[in-house]
Structure 1
Amino acid sequence: MIELAGLTKRYGRTTAVQDLTFSVRPGVVTGFLGPNGSGKSTTMRMILGLDHPSAGQVRIDGRRYHQLADPLTHIGALLEAKAVHPGRTAYHHLLCLAQSNDIPLRRIDDVLDLVGLAGVAKKRPKGFSLGMGQRLGIASALLGDPRILMFDEPVNGLDPEGIQWIRNLMKRLAAEGRTVFVSSHLMSEMALTADHLIVIGQGRLLADTSMARFIEENARTFVRVRSPDHERLRAALERAGGRPRQCPDGSLEIEDLPAARVGELAAENDVVLHELSHQQASLEEAFMRLTHESVEYHARAGR
């Protein structure tokens, strides 16, 4: 488990992270979301002891990072895929990590095979593609077979097969009872991967909740219905207490009646339907709605 209590980081007059308190629990994939500049990377660096908090603390299974003997056997992380010595082969990069953390050398071949790099183990990472570099970074995180995994943008540079692989890997690791904490800007991918969400904006905690509840609380859901006799349908919906909204394509949108009731009303009034569908909001829509006031960098539409 990762536990943050009042975590704060200041750089001069700039506060990058302010009073963050949350826990990342084992057994689920926890997504870490926030706009650019929200403090996600700074938070992850403080978890690993790479940056020192101005206030508050982080504990990894009850201890601070510097108190962990052989830390890679407790927490494995991918923060920057290119953070490798360009003159070492992939194998020797992992060998240095293994020797410094008292990890059995047989584990090197295991993780290289797991991430699909066994065939290039003797090659130098400086010639690797971005996707291959990501796979080596993931291998480094897995090397100590830790109970806690932390990934920052793990799908960068991966092809569709690689994206599906890392998604399934994170789910499997969580199913084994491990703690999995992952940051990504790809909302569609996060929606398929994460069970729980931590959302921050301008360094502050905005949400700590399940994926389903986050979408339910922060995005609009409605029923869309189309009929060649939409005026009669509208009247029936209004008599039942609904407030249908007319769309440019002729369909009606209703937020205050469930799809089943809309269908029943149409049947009771002999109204033919061409469409009746429940529209579930996306994670992206929910995220944008919650964080729109926390976005630090805004682009303007071009001509």
Structure 2
Amino acid sequence: MIELEGLTKRYGGTVAVDHLTFTVRPGVVPGFLGPNGAGKSTTMRMILGLDHPTAGDVRIDGTHYDRLKDPLTCIGALLDAKAVHGGRSAYHHLLWLAQSNGIPSRRVAEVLETVGLTAVARKKAKGFSYGMGQRLGIAAALLGDPRIVMFDEPVNGLDPEGIHWIRNLMKALAAQGRTVFVSSHLMSEMALTADHLVVIGRGRLLADTSMADFIRANARSYVRIRSPQRERLLDVLHQAGITVVEAGGGALEVAGGKAERIGELAARHGLVLHELSPRQASLEEAFMQLTADTVEYHAHAGPAAVPQDRGAGWKGA
């Protein structure tokens, strides 16, 4: 379990993390989300004792990180896939981590097999692709068979097979009763992986809730309907107290409606439906809605944002 209470980090006059309080519990996969500059990486660094909080407290299974006797057996983390000495092989990188934490050397071969790097175990890390570096970082996080794992952008650089693998790995670790904490900007991946969400913006907590409740509270779900008997359908829905919004292409939309109820009403009145489709809001839509006022860096697409071709002789400033 990871517990944050009033966790705060200031850099001069800048507040990077602002009184964060939440708990990461075992048995689920919480997604840690926020726009760029929201304070996610700083928070994760403070959990691991790499940065010291200005105020507040963070504990790992009730203990500060710097007081853990063998930290890798308690919490394993991937924060930066490039944090490897390029002149070391994958095997020797993991071996020195194992020896310095009292971990049996046999674990090195086991985690290399787990992440699929056995064939390149003796190759130097400087020759690894980014995805291979990610796998090595995940191997290091798993080395001590820890009760808690924490990953920052774990799918970066991975191919589709690798993404599928890490997704299933995180779910399997949670199913074993371990604590799993993962940060990512890939909303589509978080929607498939996370059970719970912790969302921050400008260092402040915005949400700490289940995935379903987060989407329900911050995005619009509706039922889309099309019928050749449109006017009769409108009358039936209005008589049933169902609010309808007209959409493009002759379609109708019912916000928060139940497709089953609408289908039964249409059948009862002999109405033909060409479409009756529930539309579930996405995690990305809900995230964009909630964090719109906390985004620090805005990009703008348009004619002024894209340089135009001025001819072969033109030189920019």
**Same topology, TM > 0.5:** yes
Decide whether the 8 Å contact of 1:243 with 1:256 is kept in 2.
Answer: no
2: distance between equivalents of 1:234 and 1:289? Answer: 30
How far 1:133 sits from its partner (Å)?
A: 0.4
The equivalent of 1:169 in structure 2 is 169
Pairs within 5 Å for 1:246-265:
246-255=246-255, 257-265=257-265
Cα distance change of structure 1 residues 153 and 272 upon mapping to structure 2, 3 Å threshold = same
Q: Which amino acid is the alignment partner of residue 159 of structure 1?
A: D
The equivalent of 2:313 in structure 1 is none
How far 1:234 sits from its partner (Å)?
A: 1.3
TM-score normalised to structure 2 length: 0.94
Pairs within 5 Å for 1:232-243:
232-243=232-243
Pairs within 5 Å for 1:273-288:
273-288=273-288
Could you give the per-residue CA deviations for residues 23-61 of structure 1, whole angstroms, max 9, x where no partner exists? 000011111000111000000000000000000011000
How far 1:270 sits from its partner (Å)?
A: 2.0
How far 1:256 sits from its partner (Å)?
A: 5.2
2: distance between equivalents of 1:69 and 1:300? Answer: 49
The equivalent of 1:68 in structure 2 is 68
How far 1:157 sits from its partner (Å)?
A: 0.4
Q: Which amino acid is the alignment partner of residue 104 of structure 1?
A: P
> What SS does the aligned partner of 1:58 have?
strand
How far 1:258 sits from its partner (Å)?
A: 1.9
2: distance between equivalents of 1:25 and 1:277? Answer: 36
The equivalent of 1:290 in structure 2 is 290
> Which runs of at least 4 in structure 1 moved beyond 4 Å after TM superposition?
none
The equivalent of 2:40 in structure 1 is 40
The equivalent of 1:131 in structure 2 is 131
> What SS does the aligned partner of 2:177 have?
coil
Cα root mean square deviation, aligned: 0.9
Could you give the per-residue CA deviations for residues 234-292 of structure 1, whole angstroms, max 9, x where no partner exists? 12111211221111121100115421221122123322100111111111111111111
Identity over the aligned pairs, expressed in percent? 73
2: distance between equivalents of 1:293 and 1:239? Answer: 40
The equivalent of 1:299 in structure 2 is 299
TM-score normalised to structure 1 length: 0.98
Decide whether the 8 Å contact of 2:221 with 2:256 is kept in 1.
Answer: no
Decide whether the 8 Å contact of 2:222 with 2:279 is kept in 1.
Answer: yes
1: distance between equivalents of 2:69 and 2:284? Answer: 40
The equivalent of 1:201 in structure 2 is 201
Decide whether the 8 Å contact of 1:242 with 1:256 is kept in 2.
Answer: no
Cα distance change of structure 1 residues 135 and 256 upon mapping to structure 2, 3 Å threshold = closer
Unaligned runs of 5+ in 1: none
The equivalent of 2:190 in structure 1 is 190
How far 1:89 sits from its partner (Å)?
A: 0.6
How far 1:93 sits from its partner (Å)?
A: 0.5
The equivalent of 1:59 in structure 2 is 59
2: distance between equivalents of 1:20 and 1:257? Answer: 36
Q: Which amino acid is the alignment partner of residue 223 of structure 1?
A: V
Mean Cα displacement is larger for which, 260-269 or 130-139?
Answer: 260-269
The equivalent of 2:157 in structure 1 is 157
> What SS does the aligned partner of 1:235 have?
helix
1: distance between equivalents of 2:266 and 2:143? Answer: 60
1: distance between equivalents of 2:175 and 2:267? Answer: 45
2: distance between equivalents of 1:179 and 1:260? Answer: 38
